[in-house]
Amino acid sequence: MRGLQWGAKINPQIYKNLFIDNISFCDFFTMPIKKLINIIPRNESYRRIYDVLSACFNLGIGYLSLNRSIPTLSGGEIANLISSSMSNLLIIIDEISSGLNHADYENVWRNVVELKKRQNTIILVELNHYFLHKCDRRICIDLVGGKNGGYIVEDKLPT
């Protein structure tokens, strides 16, 4: 069993004798998904686990571990995660580019497009020009806060 850090949300004393195949429960939840895919058995007993891990890897979040909680994910990681099967929703994503490197932008944008194809309405709160220029409509709100703020200063289609 690997050394766990405080805050891992897994108590090794409780789970020390629990294994998934030959992988300790603690290791299973703290290991990066891309590493788990390589060591999880590929048989019928573990098919569902493998399919979920593969889906996460294909969404571009294979570097994450399963013990990461939603509030610790960046906007881009969340967009990749929710792109699986949601439809007919209003989805608001704050700073989708947060925590992403430029190489991930296109993959994240493809997931946003897939969400839109499923009849979702997507609102991005974003400053990154890559995403701003790809939006169907861009609405800019002034930067003044409080009772004097919140006015639309621009409403146009991107060029």
Token pair recorded at residue 7: 């805050």
Which ranges of the chain would DSSP assign to H, the alpha helix?
A: 12-15, 25-30, 33-39, 47-58, 75-82, 105-117, 129-132
Answer whether residue 159 is part of any domain. Answer: no
Domain residue limits at 70: 12-121
Answer whether residue 96 is part of any domain. Answer: yes
Structural domains of the chain, count: 1
Q: How far is CA 15 from the centre of its chain?
A: 27
Question: Does the pTM of the predicted model rise above 0.75?
Answer: no
Answer whether residue 67 is part of any domain. Answer: yes
Answer whether residue 129 is part of any domain. Answer: no
pLDDT along the chain (159 residues), means of 10: 51 74 83 92 86 80 80 72 67 82 86 85 89 89 78 79
Answer whether residue 110 is part of any domain. Answer: yes
Answer whether residue 155 is part of any domain. Answer: no
CATH, residue 32: 3.40.50.300
In sequence order, what are the residues at sequence separation of 6 or more whose Cβ sits closer than 8 angstroms to the Cβ of residue 61? 33, 77, 80, 81
Report the C-alpha gap between 158 and 141 in whole angstroms: 15
Answer whether residue 140 is part of any domain. Answer: no
In sequence order, what are the residues at sequence separation of 6 or more whose Cβ sits closer than 8 angstroms to the Cβ of residue 28? 20, 36, 66
Report the C-alpha gap between 128 and 78 in whole angstroms: 17
Task: Compute CA distances 112 → 40, 118, 122, 137, 153, whole Å.
Answer: 30, 10, 8, 14, 25
The pLDDT assigned to 1 comes to 47
The pLDDT assigned to 41 comes to 86
Answer whether residue 128 is part of any domain. Answer: no
| Pairing of the two strands 121-125 and 90-94 | parallel
